[in-house]
Amino acid sequence: MNTKKNIITIAINIFCYALCYAQQIQPTPKQWLGVEQKMIKSCAYIFEGKVIQQKNFQWRDRLLQCNVIQITKIYKGTPEINLGTIKIIQWNGELTNGTVSDYYGIALNKGQSYIIFGTPDYSNVLDSLVTDNKINLTAQDEPIAFVGVTAQWGITHYKTLDELYAFLKDNGLTVQQEQKK
């Protein structure tokens, strides 16, 4: 009976610790709003587009994923980037002495549309995928994912795309270039 009581006590303690830890690392909506606003101000390239192609490859000791995005709107970054295709290269893991270590970075899914916050990176990575824009970017932070007629950015859920676009406009972003429909 004592063993059963000890196991239950340990399980409750683990549960309480996990719950407290999870609450510590989850930002409040107000904190997340500050993160979003800082990201908009500090990011060099902000654009909307759809992942049309993906390729995994190794570069030095890193395992990378190259995502080709078809840009449909540019909010920040012209004239350096233009409508068309661009590479977003993400670090997916590391190869050390023949052992792969996983890296849980930002995952982009083929066919999914996003607003990407990009920063120049991996300029010396040679990859066979050809794109319209010659600059290579990496996603600076979590992208805004489109889900039907809604959007998700971190813990913020936009009920409509108009709500999302209004937030971007209120924070100084306007469309610099847009693909004709």
In the chain, domain spans? 27-178
Task: Write down the pTM of the prediction.
Answer: 0.79
Q: Which of 54-58, 101-105, 121-125 is least confident? A: 101-105
Convert the pLDDT of each residue in 135-145 to its tens digit. Answer: 999 888 889 99
pLDDT for 21 beyond 70: no
State the pLDDT at residue 46: 96
State the Cα–Cα distance between residues 10 and 82, nearest whole angstrom.
57
Residue whose entry in the numeric block shows the structure tokens 């500050």: 34
Whole-angstrom Cα Rg for the chain? 20
Residue 104's pLDDT is 58
What CATH class has 27-178?
Answer: mainly beta
Instruction: Give me 75's structure tokens.
Output: 């909010």
Q: How far apart are the first and last CA of the chain?
A: 71
CB-facing half-sphere around the CA of 119: CA atoms within 13 A: 10
